[in-house]
Amino acid sequence: MTYRSFLAAVALAICLMSMSCGSSGEQSDPAQPSISGRVEAGLRVLTFDPAATDQSLRIYRGDYVRPELTGSESFTLEIPALGVTHTAPVPEGERAYFKVPEAGSFEFTIGSAGGVIEAVEYAASHYREVSARDAAGLIANLDPVILDVRTPGEFSGGHLEGAVLIPVQEIQKRLGELTAEKDRPVLVYCRSGNRSTVAAKVLVDAGFSQVVNLRKGINDWNREGLPVVK
């Protein structure tokens, strides 16, 4: 290693350790807007009012949303910009949730009611998002906990070396398995960066001090030709 490359590696390690450099998706530490609903088993549960025509709900980009309706179990939720038509009760074989992969404002209708769902980027003082290349540097220099929040099937198809598998649906009830690592950097990843955003927020809320999200997931890792194991 040349002296110049050594200095670059040291600079990267300091940057990631302090969580203060301008990596992709970096946010300062603004007061966070209020977020609607609650998180259960890795899903954000949103409660809609069947009588309100001007509802305003706010979620995080990357949330997997399970809708429910006050006073009724039967409804159809439509969000044209996201291509969502969600009917409850959920037909057999279909998912009870939908994904919101982009930030933005999305109009919805639910019967005669309606409103807007705003998806915002998650930001917190102990949270950062990084590219695949920056994640590789973090692994090389800081030896983080590597947390895979995909399904077991996805994991067996290829994962980062040394990764611990805890599917996002189980992250809340299995936090105890990671408690001893609260003061270490935790690199969280999924397929495309959505489930990992959900899991990262759970970790930050639980007091983990350095949570790093692989912004575009293992998809970005593979595009960069970085190694995986099976």
pLDDT in tens, 61-86: 888 899 999 877 789 999 999 999 99
Q: For residues 84 and 147, state if they share a domain.
A: no
Domain boundary among 120, 148, 174: 120
pLDDT score at 33: 67
Examine residue 21 and state whether it is found in any structural domain, yes or no: no
Amino acid at site 82 = L
Q: For residues 138 and 106, state if they share a domain.
A: no
Examine residue 18 and state whether it is found in any structural domain, yes or no: no
Q: For residues 212 and 128, state if they share a domain.
A: yes
Question: The domain that contains 167 carries what CATH number?
Answer: 3.40.250.10
Examine residue 203 and state whether it is found in any structural domain, yes or no: yes
pLDDT score at 186: 97
State how far the Cα of 103 lies from the Cα of 77, in Å rounded to an integer.
19
Q: For residues 77 and 99, state if they share a domain.
A: yes
Which tokens belong to 158? 């290829």
Q: Check whether 91 has a pLDDT greater than 90.
A: no
Q: Which residue has the higher pLDDT, 203 or 61?
A: 203
Q: For residues 64 and 99, state if they share a domain.
A: yes
Q: Check whether 138 has a pLDDT greater than 80.
A: yes
Q: For residues 140 and 159, state if they share a domain.
A: yes
Domain carrying residue 129 = 124-223
Examine residue 20 and state whether it is found in any structural domain, yes or no: no
Domain boundary among 120, 148, 181: 120
Q: For residues 111 and 150, state if they share a domain.
A: no
* Global model pTM greater than 0.75: no
Examine residue 168 and state whether it is found in any structural domain, yes or no: yes
Examine residue 153 and state whether it is found in any structural domain, yes or no: yes
The count of other CB atoms within 10 Å of the CB of residue 65 is: 24
Q: Helix, strand, or coil here: 145?
A: strand
Examine residue 113 and state whether it is found in any structural domain, yes or no: yes
Number of domains in the chain: 2
Question: The domain that contains 67 carries what CATH number?
Answer: 2.60.40.420
Q: For residues 159 and 205, state if they share a domain.
A: yes
Q: For residues 142 and 213, state if they share a domain.
A: yes
Examine residue 23 and state whether it is found in any structural domain, yes or no: no
| pLDDT tens per residue, range 41-56 | 778 999 999 999 999 9
Q: For residues 65 and 113, state if they share a domain.
A: yes
Whether residue 215 contacts residue 193, with contact meaning beta carbons closer than 8 Å, is answered with: yes
Least confident range from 124-128, 165-169, 170-174, 198-202: namely: 124-128
E strands, the chain, are 38-40, 43-48, 55-60, 64-69, 75-79, 84-88, 98-99, 104-110, 113-120, 127-130, 145-148, 164-165, 185-189, 210-214
Q: For residues 202 and 182, state if they share a domain.
A: yes
Catalytically active residues are: 190
